[in-house]
Structure 1
């Protein structure tokens, strides 16, 4: 688990939380499961529960939601008026074919990489983003010129210049906060990588001028259209710290979309 966390790789942790009658695994048994359903480590018993748990692990990693699986013999399911695949009060039922007739309840928890905030630039807004982002649960990557690197000593990852890796195992939110120092180069780098969100800290007029330059350099309109400018929600922000707060508020809306019933936030573009 420590190795997977260091690598930024997602996995599911399955824990046996209750057993009734005869079962191979007992409460407390654990297994680490990869997104493709491969059991990487640990043990939760034999084939009686394995298929249902591996399926639940794949689904949990796909939608980020935990599952409680109750694997029971068919006669016990019938007594409760449920069938394999049914879900009631947060419990999903599965059928056990084992002759021992035991019952096993397994909690399956997805462990996903922390979202990553990628800040390009060393402006006051960039510094404020680097300070606030980790406190809101983001791992931090900072891309800045060599002379600006000491400002970001506490970042999880520091990159000299703007050469971002194309792919990332975690959800990545990129903010260009160069504010006049390398805007075009930073935007090209930000738009060239996979990201959930790409935002530009600057006025709408400046963003439009940069968009024209990007088109002149051969960047397609679809790619340029990924850029959100100006960055952030309209909070009336003035100071760098307030602007950073507005940018992160917008990212949180995007990150949490669909996770809670928040109709007012859902209206925010």
Structure 2
């Protein structure tokens, strides 16, 4: 009895480590088995985005293909799902075939001699979305604090001399060179407001992200764009930067401007999940 418990603890220890390291993975848990000897209810496995099982055990090849497919889909849309691996005759009795979805369950065929049934819960664990803020302006400071409350991993990059107070950020970078970033969905806001605009913009557009925005007028962004293109930066890199940043809420104070930016980011962040949930409900 000691062995399965030890294995379970090792998997959960690794889950905690990978969460802390902001790594994406899937936790697959066997919730029910019938006439299956390869794995029992409670068995767990950690699956990386590349499909490798790094810890744990959920049975042999009979379930592996279906679980890995579900894991890839779960990482793509952020939604958990249930996979039921059953012999073809039992699927026929239910009136379903391999690949069908019913009531949130994905059915797969068990082609192994055991002909057992195994239900596996596939749960994606994704890094916190990453908000990268360039600048130490009042808007940048307010944006960092509000974003942390909404569950973002906040990186604030600005020269140390520009900081009048210590920002509420997970990571603080002196200057605008960020180095290696963890693999999360990224949202980038340039809020330098006159201090290092060009350097910050150049660094920001070099980072792959779902959203780039500049806190400043459209006219100012046009002038900066022309200057940076003349300096050799690709126009298409700058074309994806929205200016001014945020929804048009009539915001005036730094706190209100930060809120309008986070509202705009929320629309982008939830876009795929809303479409997924609408497709599921329909």
TM-score above 0.5: yes
User: Residues 10-32 of structure 1: CA distance to partner in whole angstroms, max 9, x if unpaired?
Assistant: 11110111222344322211100
Give CA deviations for 1:196-245 in whole Å, capped at 9, x if unaligned. 11110011121112112112211121111011000000000000000000
1:86 aligned partner: 100
Q: Which moved more, 1:18-27 or 1:248-257?
A: 18-27
Structure 1 or 2: larger helix share?
2
- The corresponding residue for 1:266 is none
Q: How does 1:145-224 map to 2 (within 5 A)?
A: 145-149=159-163, 151-165=165-179, 168-224=182-238
Q: Deviations over 1:120-141 (max 9, x none)?
A: 1111101100110011110000
User: Which runs of no fewer than 5 residues in structure 1 stay unpaired?
Assistant: 263-269
Which aligned runs of 4 or more in structure 1 are off by greater than 6 angstroms? none
2:209 aligned counterpart, secondary structure: coil
Deviates more, 1:56-65 or 1:38-47: 56-65
Gaps of 5+ in 2: 1-14, 277-282
Aligned-residue offset at 1:3: 3.0
What is the alpha-carbon root mean square deviation over aligned residues? 1.8
Greater mean deviation of Cα atoms: 146-155 or 108-117? 146-155
Counterpart contact for 2:87–2:116, Cα < 8 Å: yes
Task: Please report the TM-score for the alignment, with normalisation by the length of structure 2.
Answer: 0.87
Deviates more, 1:11-20 or 1:56-65: 56-65
- Superposition deviation, residue 80 in structure 1: 0.9
Q: How many residues align?
A: 262
State the SS of the aligned residue for 1:174. strand
Aligned partners of 2:213 and 2:244 also within 8 Å: yes
1:154 CA displacement: 3.9
Shift of 1:261: 5.5
Find the counterpart in structure 1 of residue 126 from structure 2.
112
Partner of 1:127: 141
